[in-house]
Structure 1
């Protein structure tokens, strides 16, 4: 029973989210599973991630610094794969965070890159 079943991210700008999250997820080996007018889904194993918009949104700005979800962390493969992804990210709407401490912003034994997209969502890509 352990494991994560799915994550649903509500976004204000669906087109930008589809482009940015779609690139990141597919770059990390997730498979596009389909879309509809209000969203899209990607799958990795038995876990899926949905990007969607809703008429029930309160506001149009995501702030990862308020109570709630701060970031999602993904397996990024080998160190070279994380490095390659980090070098491509800006071309796909993601900006690096903690670039002055990359790849050890999480400590000397933690090899990872942190990214933030145009809506302020944060993703961590961790090397094995």
Structure 2
């Protein structure tokens, strides 16, 4: 079982706005806040978001470089993934692989893929049928 993941972000307020509406949709609750970060918890796992120090902001993050490529969450159902997709579109968040959505992960994998403000790929996948 995963204990926690810590993600450095380039703009803490932008990250708080993005993750602050998304994570409750996925069953997370705000866990901690402090001047340079915040965390959200679901059961025994939590996600930590910390403001990157200025000296480490460049070069910017890119998921194709060595390191974290994306983070994937469980969606409750295909309907839940569809509702989330519409909310993302309503917020102007670009859906990745739109031409293959919702099967961009394969014909048996129903999911939505998008990016956070730092271009970290986020996936929400429905349970298998």
> TM-score scaled by structure 1?
0.91
Q: Deviations over 1:75-117 (max 9, x none)?
A: 0111000000011014446321011101101111111110112
- State the superposition RMSD in angstroms: 1.5
Q: Which consecutive residues of structure 2, in runs of 5 or more, have no partner in the other structure?
A: none
Q: Distance between the aligned counterparts of 1:49 and 1:93, measured in 2?
A: 24
Q: Which residue in 2 is equivalent to 1:69?
A: 68
> TM-score scaled by structure 2?
0.91
Q: Which consecutive residues of structure 1, in runs of 5 or more, have no partner in the other structure?
A: none
Q: Which residue in 1 is equivalent to 2:101?
A: 102
8 Å contact from structure 1 (residues 6, 47) kept in 2 = yes
Q: Which residue in 1 is equivalent to 2:3?
A: 5
Q: Which residue in 2 is equivalent to 1:114?
A: 113
